[in-house]
Amino acid sequence: MAQDPGKMKAYWKKNLKTLFILLFIWFLVSFGFGILWVDELNNIRLGGYKLGFWFAQQGSIYSFVVLIFIYVYRMNKLDKEFDVNEE
Amino acid sequence: MDILTWTYILVGLSFTLYIGIAIWTRAGSTKEFYVAGGGVSPLANGMATAADWMSAASFISMAGIISFAGYDGSVYLMGWTGGYVLLALLLAPYLRKFGKFTVPDFVGDRYYSNTAKVVAVICALFISFTYVAGQMRGVGIVFSRYLEVPIEWGVVIGMCIVFFYAVLGGMKGITYTQVAQYCVLIFAYMVPAIFVSMQLTGNPIPQLGLGGELADGTALLDKLDGVLGELGFAEYTAGRKGMMDIFMITLALMVGTAGLPHVIVRFFTVPKVKDARLSAGYALVFIAILYTTAPAIAAFGIYNAINSTSEKEISTLPVWVSNWQKTNLIAVDDKNGDGKIQYVADPATNELTIDRDIMVLASPEIAELPNWVVGLVAAGAMAAALSTAAGLLLVISTSVSRDLFKTFRPDISEKKELRIARIAAAGAVLLAGYFGVNPPGFVAQVVAFAFGLAAASFFPVIIMGIFSSRINKEGAIAGMISGLIFTLAYIIYFKFIAPELNTADNWWSGVSPEGIGSIGMFINFLVCIVVSKFTPAPPQEVQDMIQEIRIPRGAGKAIDH
């Protein structure tokens, strides 16, 4: 398939930027809030939960789900924009 | 009706359903056998992935582990779900576009080398076998506990069922059976959790109940921290392992999840790249339902167990205690002879031993739910064990028939290849069954390390195969081998050669053998990059292929050579 290499480069660059942002959030909600800063966050309360504990056992998982769906939405849009989507 | 009758009825019904589906979706071609013809909808694939992923260990043991580990149990919750983000963003869409059937296929083509492919096959077989042997044992335990047959018979019954639909149906049969198994297992998991949550906190949603208040107005988690503290245990919401160790174990589990061959192969079964992304999202939704409920069951379980036994007269204990004493999952030993139970942290004066598996298995009885719920949990546990075992067996048979046999005998006919795949699946069932009946001591210990090994071997070379066009075959082979050997050596040293040294003081930087796969992964990345730098770049057609898999358009159904 003959695709314009410059356009493909731009597509790939935008893809990498999306990945970078989403993986940053992925790291933040799990390794950040759930592990590295768990003690600090535990001073804040969320109902009957300590916030750090909530991130480690609930919040990180909800965030993961949301992250994947944002990715699906973003990429489908990007594919159309660069005309590389499937029929 | 009593519990055993209900169990036979519900388990019998669910098995009839699975076998019916297997006959209905029998595979007729190698493509249907390996990747279900590439025509599974993202929603069905997501559900099948979830069932494939959640094993007997997730279903039965995870909540119990969290009960006794508290915050430290988070490594499994985050580790086994976070990997799906990596899978969806970094692997699934590109591997789907690549359009072959297996991970070694990809490694072999991307690194233009049969040596790299064979190294990948060996890694895949090694990981799948350690994993499946543990599963077969799990199948046996579940069958024997609920059907009240000896463990050997349990394994044999499980083997027959798996044999039937994995060997006949291949990926096509497995996928649709797993959809049914997911429905059974999630229903069985949620029903008791919802009832217990309602009884304790008045909130029917377990995820909210965990953060809810007890009847006396104190938050459940605070109460639990206090009760455990009084008995001399660590607080429930506080960490006990070192932060570095928690970090590394979580990372190893996440990356290992994304590198497990039986999980990756699922994304070859959907029609489009778009579907591969979406399918990973659905899979995680279905997994998250169980994984966010598990910590609630964990906290409710330990609270209920302590509340109904601690400082209580032995003669007035609830009936579920004596029921489970028969199975040795609960042991009572009145050491000081005062007629009451003292449940304390000090093993010298502790009078109550609770097996972790009881938190899920006994929850319907603790909550005084009807007998059919107990039968339902049995059917759910079996669904979880069977679906995972079947998925793994398929990876093993595909590795043998396609990655090994066809690499060296490329001219065999499709019919013959299909027959070899079926024979390999049958052989794998028998071998796994043998290990289920006669578990070598190391299997149980090694299962947990399958993740570390997957993290240290596959993940880096697949990622770099997609995101770098400079990494070549020398780098990939050296990377996989060094990551694998380092991880394996560390585990073998602390688990088998010098188990007496297996304490935090002796670990490298406080990283336990469970978490060492993360370090192995970094070593793999490093070796791979350095070796590639000093050896020639990959040929032009491979670089073109990399450009090609980066864009979705043009993904046909999974194709043969």
B344-354, pLDDT tens digit by residue?
888 888 998 88
Residue-level pLDDT at A64? 97
Q: What is the CATH number of domain B3-311+361-549?
A: 1.20.1730.10
- For B99-137, write each residue's pLDDT tens digit: 777 888 899 999 999 888 988 888 888 888 777 777 777
Nearest partner of B95 among B253, B263, B255, judged by Cα: B263
Taking only the tens place, the pLDDT of each residue in B32-43 is 777 776 778 889
Structure confidence at residue B193 (pLDDT): 94
Tokens 């007496």 found at: B500
pLDDT of A42 over the 80 cut:
yes
A3: chain B residues, CB-CB within 8 Å = 551
Please give the average per-residue pLDDT across B494-513, as a whole number. Answer: 84
Average pLDDT over residues B213-234: 90
Give the minimum alpha-carbon distance from A8 to chain B in angstroms, rounded to a whole number. Answer: 8
Cβ neighbour number for residue B223 with a 10 Å cutoff: 19
The one-character DSSP state at B555 is -
Q: Which residues in chain B have their CB less than 8 angstroms from residue A31's CB?
A: 247, 250-251
- Compare CB distances from B237 to A50, A61, A69 and report the shortest one's residue: A50
Task: State the smallest CA–CA distance between residue A39 and chain B in angstroms.
Answer: 8
> Which residue in the set A30, A31, A84 is minimally distant from B551, CB to CB?
A84
- Name residues whose C-beta falls within 8 Å of residue B106's C-beta, 6 or more positions apart in sequence: B95, B98, B100, B462, B465
pLDDT reading at B148 higher than 70: yes
Q: What does the DSSP 8-state code read for residue B538?
A: P
- The pLDDT assigned to B486 comes to 94
Dist. CA B186–CA B184, nearest whole Å: 6
Q: What is the mean pLDDT of residues B450-460?
A: 88
φ and ψ of B393, to 5 deg: -60, -35
Cβ contact (<8 Å) for A56 and B273?
no
Chain A positions touching B291 (Cβ under 8 A) are 61
* Residue B331: φ, ψ to 5°: -130, 130
Please say if the pLDDT value at position B421 is more than 90. no
Per domain, the residue ranges of chain B are: 3-311+361-549
> Helix H segments across B330-406?
358-361, 363-366, 371-398
- Is B284–A8 a contact, with Cβ atoms under 8 angstroms apart? no
pLDDT at A57: 96
Please state, in angstroms and rounded to a whole number, the distance separating the CA atoms of residues A29 and A56. 8
Alpha-carbon gap: B90 to the closest alpha carbon of chain A (Å): 8
Residue B292 to residue A22, Cβ atoms within 8 A: no
Question: Residue B246 pLDDT > 50, yes or no?
Answer: yes
Q: Dump the DSSP string for B195-211.
A: HHHHHHHS-S-HHHHTT
- Measured between CA atoms, how close is A54 to chain B, in angstroms? 9
User: How much is the mean pLDDT over chain B?
Assistant: 86
pLDDT at B284 over 80: yes
pLDDT of residue B452 exceeding 60: yes
The amino acid sitting at B183 is C
Residue B560's pLDDT band (cuts 50, 70, 90): very low
The pLDDT, as a whole number, for residue B157 is 82
Tell me: the pLDDT tens digits for A5-34? 888 899 999 999 999 999 999 999 999 999
pLDDT of A44-75, one tens digit each? 998 889 999 999 999 999 999 999 999 999 99
Considering only alpha carbons, which residue of chain A is nearest residue B272?
Answer: A86
- Which residues of chain B neighbour A67 with C-beta distances below 8 Å? 85
What pLDDT does B476 receive? 94
**B81 pLDDT band (50/70/90 cuts)?**
very high
Structure tokens at B319: 């009936």
Residue B448: per-residue pLDDT: 65
Query: How many residues are listed for chain A in this entry?
Result: 87
A11's enclosing H/E stretch is helix A5-27
